[in-house]
Chain A
Amino acid sequence: MINSIDLTIGTAILLIGMAYWTVSIVEHNNNYVDAVKTDYLFDKGISVMESMVKDGTLQDIVLLYYFNNTEYAKELVKQRIPFKKYKFEIDGNVLIDNLNNPNRTICVIAVLTLNRTEGWYVIYGNSSEIKISNKRFIDWLEAYNRYSSYEIDTPVYLSRNITSSEVKLYLSN
């Protein structure tokens, strides 16, 4: 009788202990695996952003975005980013968001020299009056043609207020 009670208690202790241990070890292990996965994602994210900076794609995306060609910009992003769950932001403005309420995200930032005030502005007028356009243009020829009726029509590449465009890529496991 005593032995059977002892056996029961011992078995219960073993079962509870093992269960608690199993849960605990899985949890700890998952934390570690998550951290490693995040590290991997971060590396991958940096690699993607670096290649987009190097081949000029990111610059094109920012330019397209600021010249109101958002759809083309989105298409370019989709073609180049090999992740399912990500969010793509340009200067805090969300361009694409496929994260769907993630628990854990990692953010990769790439900085470009472009900013929302950069482009071709046109110095136009005549010998007695000279102005500079408020509108900026993506292309020199487009800028030149817009003011071609003026005696002086000189497009200049300018940043009205020099800052940099910040592109953020949020990735999730």
Chain B
Amino acid sequence: MYFSQNAIILVMLMFVISAVFYSTIEYKTKSVEDSIEIKKISLTINNLKTTLNKNLDKAVENAFVKTSWKIMNGELDFFNTSKDAENYVESLIKKDINKSLSSVSDNNIVSFTIKDVSISPVNDKGNESPLYVKVKCSVTIWYSKKLKNGYIHAYEHIPIEKHVKLSRVPDCYLYRNPPTYNWSYEKIIYVKNFPNDEKNHTFYIILNTSNFNYNRMNNASNKNEIRIVKQEGNKQILLPYWISKWEPYGTSVIWIKASKNDLWNYNSNNETGIIKILYGSNKNVLISKENPKEVFRYFNNSIELNDREVTLDSVNQNEELLVYANFGEYGFSNGYPYLGIKCNGINYYIIWLSGEEYGQKSLKGIWHYTGYSLQNINTNDFTYVGNYTKNFYIYAISYINSSTSVGFTIFNENMTKKYNDSSTTNLNNLNLYDKKIVLNPQSGDLQVNWVAVKDVNNITTTLGDEYSNPKYTETIPIGKTIYYGEPGKYKFVENGNYSLIGLFTGAKDSWGSVGYKYVYLD
């Protein structure tokens, strides 16, 4: 046999052997490629499961937040029944799950159906139960693909039942039905000597047991309950007021700011008019509407005193400075504690001053400041007024203009005049300007609670008859955040009307047996 013939046989033999090897290796290659395809399908299914698992919570929360938001903005009205609200929320959940899974599944290989989405209340999580929702649904996944070495075709049924905790769902019911304060009684306040001009004037009323029945109040020890209002047709509108002293079943003092336009039935001939005081609220009022900074032209109750002179706002013509202070035990070591008005530039003081001078323990006066020390006192400018130290008094200085005398008055906290006088010093030629409020303890124990500046006027008030059911109501501020069940703002109640779905019906229908109720709704 020729060598070439042997070579041909050998090569042919090798080709035959190789063909077997090639088929084997090709089969193995396809097998590896199929395994990659199967892993890809498995990955897609895992992705679907992950998406379902993670997005379900979000879909549920999303559905509640969206429903609540739509009710808040009026896009939806409150549902008639809990079942209606439940169906609506379920439809949103199903829609969201569907969208979420659609974005994951490859429709040519993997498809799915979602059935029987339902939500139900949870009652077994204690005080947190109203925040939980039980969600059930059934998802079926199909997958089918032709592989290189065959087919893969299967389906997987995934039943889901889980408790989803909701957090930070806005309370649409609270927004649409904010709680209100209303009052049972109103009492007429007659205002006299009210100037016939367009300006605002500050004055006060005094309540005591002879003109005011504290028993009519919801809570007599709570001054927050008081409101001062003006009458405008059928409406009653809040006026700026501040209660400087509140003593249930005793004497209380309320400062008010108003213009003649705020007075009901203002009579320009005898300068009288009417405002009203409200009391007897439907619930214990926790929110004060007092606003001393609005009542007075200037008000400061956070004064820090040290050994040096403290300068505050200016006092203008036709204004009266009120300082609620206690001079203490006239305890001075380096000088005399004083408070009042300092006219800068020419160093004039118009002050109340406490100290011992020739055996007198309390002094007032207009004093020409000539040196660096308050020891240089011209005693002729001072008048002894009595010993108004050791207690808090309201020290008032009224300044009309430089051609009129300066009024000095001391009131106790009930606004009873303890002393009243006017200076004899002629200010006419003194060219006073930049009149600032000054306070100086001079190492003594002067305490100042508040300082106020108001207009000078002769307005007086008396209280008149009491009437029932005033028109005034006040929406209780619900705060910046209105999350259902927010700690401190809500209380747990065994009433399904205050469950989230219950609130979607305007708290008319119940869902489950527990809920959260906004504290001010009681």
| Contact-size category for A | 35 or more
**In the bound complex, how far is the Cα of B478 from the Cα of A9, in angstroms?**
103
Interface presence of A110 (CB below 8 A): yes
Q: Within 8 Å of chain A (Cβ to Cβ): is B178? A: yes
Out of B18, B29, B35, B65, name the residue touching A24 (CB < 8 Å).
B18
| Most interface-central of A17, A111, A113, A144 (chain B CB within 10 A) | A111
Main secondary structure of the interface of B (DSSP, over half): helix
Known: A10-B2, A17-B15, A39-B36. A113 touches B58 (CB 8 A): yes
| Contacting residues of chain B (29-54) with chain A, CB-CB under 8 angstroms | 29, 32-33, 35-36, 39-40, 43-44, 47-48, 50-51, 54
Asked if residues A163 and B103 are in contact (CB atoms below 8 Å), the reply is: yes
Judged by a CB distance under 8 angstroms, whether B4 is at the interface is yes
Question: Does A14 lie at the interface of the complex (its beta carbon under 8 Å from any beta carbon of B)?
Answer: yes
Q: Which residues of B contact A42 (CB under 8 A)?
A: 36, 39-40
A55 interface residue (CB < 8 Å to B): no
Contacting residues, chain A, for B431 (C-beta < 8 A): none
How many Å lie between the Cα of A89 and that of B99 in the bound state?
21
A11 vs B11: C-alpha distance when bound (angstroms): 11
- Contact call B18/A113, Cβ cutoff below 8 A: no
**Does A151 contact B477, Cβ atoms closer than 8 Å?**
yes
Residues of B within 8 A of A67 (CB): none
Q: A28-B25, A111-B50, A162-B99 are in contact. Are A21 and B14 (CB under 8 A)?
A: yes
Known: A17-B15, A111-B51. A166 touches B2 (CB 8 A): no
Stretch of A30-38, A70-78, A79-87, A94-102 at the chain-chain interface: A30-38
Interface readout for B51-67 with A: 1 if CB under 8 Å, 0 if not? Answer: 10011001101100110
> Which of B129-137, B167-175, B359-367 is near enough to bind chain A?
B167-175
Please report the number of residue pairs spanning A and B whose Cβ atoms sit closer than 8 angstroms.
155
**Residues of chain B with a CB closer than 8 A to A3's CB:** 3
Closest to A9 in B: B4
Q: Inside 8 A of A144's CB, which chain B residues have their CB?
A: 480-481
Residue numbers in A under 8 Å from B88 (CB-CB): none
Do A130 and B73 touch across chains, with their CB atoms under 8 A apart?
yes
Determine the distance from Cα of A123 to Cα of B61 in the docked complex, in whole angstroms: 16
Instruction: Report the minimum CB–CB distance from B488 to chain A (whole Å).
Output: 15
Name A35's contact: one of B2, B3, B32, B39 (CB within 8 Å): B32
The range of chain B's interface size is 35 or more
Query: A156 contacts which of B10, B43, B168 (Cβ < 8 Å)?
Result: B168
Cα–Cα, bound, A161→B404 (Å): 75
Let me know if A152 and B32 touch, CB within 8 A. no
Task: Report the bound CA distance from A155 to B69 in whole Å.
Answer: 12
- Residues A152 and B50 in contact, CB atoms below 8 Å apart: no
B residues near A13, Cβ cutoff 8 Å:
4, 7-8, 11
State how many angstroms separate the Cβ of B50 from the closest Cβ of chain A.
6
Q: Mark B230-253 against chain A: 1 for CB-CB distance below 8 A, else 0.
A: 000000000000000000000000
Q: Is the CB of B480 within 8 A of A156?
A: no
In the complex, which residues of chain B have a beta carbon less than 8 angstroms from the beta carbon of A110? 47
Q: Is the CB of B15 within 8 A of A21?
A: yes
A109, A151, A155, A164, most chain B CB atoms within 10 A: A164
The CA-CA distance from A106 to B36 in the complex, in Å, is: 9
| A10 lies within 8 A of B6 (CB) | yes
> Is A6 touching B482 in the complex (CB atoms < 8 A)?
no
Complex CA distance for A158 and B168, rounded to whole angstroms: 10
Q: Are A6 and B22 in contact (CB-based, < 8 A)? A: no
Q: A153-B481, A156-B170 are in contact. Are A127 and B58 (CB under 8 A)?
A: no
Nearest CB in chain B: distance from A167 CB, A: 10
Task: Give the top 8 A-B pairs by smallest Cβ distance, nearest first.
Answer: A17-B11, A10-B4, A10-B3, A10-B7, A35-B32, A111-B47, A9-B4, A113-B54
A-B contact pairs, 26 of them (CB 8 A): A11-B3, A11-B7, A13-B7, A13-B11, A17-B10, A21-B18, A24-B18, A28-B26, A31-B26, A32-B25, A39-B35, A106-B36, A109-B44, A109-B47, A113-B55, A123-B69, A127-B475, A151-B480, A154-B168, A154-B482, A154-B483, A155-B481, A156-B69, A156-B170, A162-B62, A164-B104
